[in-house]
Amino acid sequence: MPRSLIPPEFLVARDEGRCLKCKACVRQCGFGVHTDDQGRGISIDERRCVNCQRCVVMCPVGALKVTANPSVGRENAYWPASRLREIWRQAENGGSILTGMGCDRNYPVYFDHLLLNASQVTNPSIDPLREPMEIRTFLGRKPEKVSIAGPPGAERLADPLPPVVQLEIPVMFAAMSFGSISKNVVLALAQAAKRLGIMFNTGEGGMSSVLAPYREHMIVQVASGRFGVDNAYLEAGRIIEIKIGQGAKPGIGGHLPGEKVNEEIARTRGIPAGADAISPAPHHDIYSIEDLSQLIYTLKEATDYRKPIAVKIAAVHNVAAIASGIVRAGADIVVLDGLRGGTGAAPKLIRDHIGLPVELATAVVDRRLREEGIREQVSLVASGGIRSSADLLKLICLGADAVYLGTAALLALGCHLCQKCYTGKCSWGIATQDPSLTRRVDPQWGATRLVNMLTAWGHEIKEFMGAMGINALESFRGNRLQLRAVGLPQNELDQLGVKQAGEAM
Amino acid sequence: MKVVEAKGLPYRELNREVRRLLTAGEERLLLRGINGQRYIGAGLTGAARLEIEGTAGNNLGAMMDGLTVYVDGNVQDGAGNTMSGGEIIVRGSAGDITGYAMRGGKIFIQGNAGWRVGIHMKSREQSPAVLVIGGKAGDFLGEYMAGGTIVVLGLNTPLHQEREAANPLAGNYLASGMHGGAIYIRGRIPAWQIGGQVRSALTTPDKNAELKAWIAQFATGLNLDCSAFQRETFTCLTPEGNRPYARLYDHSA
Ligand code: SF4
Ligand code: SF4
């Protein structure tokens, strides 16, 4: 193979004075940076380093340091190092560059321009430790009206209520398939969802049998590849989610590289082991809103109208009109996945250059559905890059009922955001199927970390609400008066439906 | 056999009634006067037999696992969409996306099938997915196919003799992105009609036990005589590899 012209992205330094030669780093690195040179010490191949920090954290004496290589040469503001590197890579092997996790580019982050309100004097704030705060939420279709039947004294609802699903906190774990992440990680998410009274999502890879005890907290996904979709799968989910698109790769299909398709995953998906698991770009039975409606009703018929049907789309420029169509097609829950949404594998340029920030998408969809008088019929779930309880509350003020967490959940399990999920070599044992790596995440240990994180978020949400003098999450939904913006031009304020900071109620 | 008079019945009521009768233990139902009702048999399981008189609407037997559905008539789009098991036997023709992403069970169509048929078919071990079309099929047949078997017989279509002429039993973009399973089409197929990365070989039912068995089952299911096909030439399409996109992407860290 001709010599690569690409300088290493990271520098790895070992303090030989401290190093015990214990070889922990040799075993810990999923990418083969450290090798035992049989008696001649431990050598380092910096070209392989992805800066996942696993060796740094695991070294018993803190002898390792990984830093970004400060320069690849004469990069400049117009030609950043990342772009130079990508061109060199493409010149060397002719492939579209893959990446993992969400868009990391320097686009405006609306969350960071929005500030929440609080009460002072005129309406008192509430002490969440003293008074009950309602952060429970229900997802599903809400009937426009209810009719009462039966004789006086024995009245009952004339029609059954549509199915809804209860969330103890307005958070769910986003779709991450067994295949893109390990079974242990899926189990950690499932156990945490059960303990927290929320939902997790199987993703599009079908359902591993180990998830059976968690079905009450499970959303099953139907994507264009229809992997693992059978009667038992549909029955097992509390919610069925049709995946049209994903924020990290709007408009293109899913693609689980053959490296990650082992025997068990192949069986769950119904494809040969080692084959690429390909989800076509569109569902080939959905070329229109009317077709979408038919898949929604096929799923409702197949499960006897017992489950809410969600439709997940990537937030794109025409998102408001599309979401309106989805509601009219019969969906009970609409999921908007924004620009920053993560992925196990996506072409880098697609990830970084297509889509809409979830803050804007949520605001414009909520406004459009209200204008059309159909907002109350459905639940709106926002997804894609939610980093904190503050981001979450801002989205609820912009119109969401609940949010999905993907990246934040993996971070809680040890992910260090190296973006190499597509390689199947994740040193943190998350985005891999290699048994020597997957055992690094014990499901119970992981579940506890997720429960800890979301318990903290739950407290924070209640504190925010108390500060604003509001004791029910319901009163927040679409309540843009609780938001003010700093540093945004008028047209962006208009799209968000938020006033400039300093303007009074 | 229990008869359901379906004329003018909205699909939701019809399907609720079918579900009720099957749950009550009926083993054979005749649905009479069907005229475009959708989702018949969708998601149902069990061993019952549904007979349908008329034209079944979209997504007949979608996501079904079990059941034998016999249609004395045509079916619209999406018959057997994502089905896992059971049989759909159609005396007439079928519309687009027949057998989309089916992963098990059998579909036998005596007449023609539309476009996008058998896209992303798969196969599960216990019940391989099989789709036999007596007539011909439109464009995109077997696109992204990941498993299972498609057979196109062309019962009433004479075949050309010239080498480069299109095989009229299938349209364009045949088997593009195929990465599993097998497609058998009667006659020869010029290379230009087939998607890339697909291997093409000639065979006959006499020499190919799998093909012979599926034709025999098709003939039995529809009560036809297909013995004349035993020595006919079929083109067998199989994927060259199971990673059609491997070279499109740079997987290095
Ligand atoms: S883990 Fe630390 S102490 Fe052990 S060999 Fe590596 S650098 Fe040395
Ligand atoms: S999941 Fe693993 S591979 Fe992906 S970004 Fe996190 S640490 Fe890296």
* pLDDT tens digits, one per residue of B44-80: 999 999 999 999 999 999 999 999 999 999 999 999 9
Which residue from A58, A65, A16, A59 is spatially nearest to A40, judged by alpha carbons? A16
Instruction: Give the total number of structural domains in chain B.
Output: 1
* A47 in contact with ligand 1, CB cutoff 6 A: no
A429: three-class secondary structure by DSSP? coil
* A56 in contact with ligand 1, CB cutoff 6 A: no
A288–B contact, CB cutoff 8 A: no
Name the minimum distance, in Å, from the CA of A222 to any CA of chain B.
10
* Residue B151 to residue B193: CA distance in whole angstroms: 17
What percentage of chain A exceeds 70 in pLDDT? 100
Name the residue with higher pLDDT: A75 or A483: A483
Query: Residue B245 and residue A255: Cβ atoms within 8 Å?
Result: yes
Residue with tokens 């593009």: B176
pLDDT at B162 over 80: no
Q: Using a 6 Å CB cutoff, which residues line ligand 2?
A: A 52, 100-101, 410, 415-421, 426, 428, 430-431
The CATH number of A10-95, from 2.40.50.90, 3.30.70.20, 3.40.50.300, 3.30.450.20, is 3.30.70.20
For CATH 3.30.70.20, list the domain ranges present in chain A: 10-95
Chain Cα centroid distance, residue A62? 33
pLDDT on residue A276 = 80
CA of A52 to the centre of ligand 2 (A): 7
- Taking contacts as CB-CB distances below 8 angstroms, the residues of chain B near A296 are none
B15: three-class secondary structure by DSSP? helix
- Note down the domain range covering B116: 2-249
* Residue A252 to residue A278: CA distance in whole angstroms: 11
pLDDT on residue A1 = 66
Which range among A156-160, A165-169, A499-503 shows the weakest confidence by mean pLDDT? A156-160
Q: pLDDT tens digit string along A359-374?
A: 999 999 999 999 999 9
pLDDT at A341 over 70: yes
pLDDT at B251 over 80: no
Q: pLDDT tens digit string along A26-42?
A: 999 999 999 998 878 89
Task: Work out the pLDDT band at A123, boundaries 50, 70, 90.
Answer: confident
Q: What is the ipTM of this complex?
A: 0.94
* A27 in contact with ligand 1, CB cutoff 6 A: no
* Residue B81 to residue B73: CA distance in whole angstroms: 18
Helix (H) or strand (E) holding A67: strand A64-68
Q: Which CATH architecture has domain A169-474?
A: Alpha-Beta Barrel (3.20)
pLDDT on residue B249 = 81
Whichever domain contains B107, its CATH number is 2.160.20.60
- CA-based end-to-end distance of chain A: 67
Label residue A52 exposed, middle or buried (CB < 10 Å: 0-12, 13-18, 19+). Answer: buried
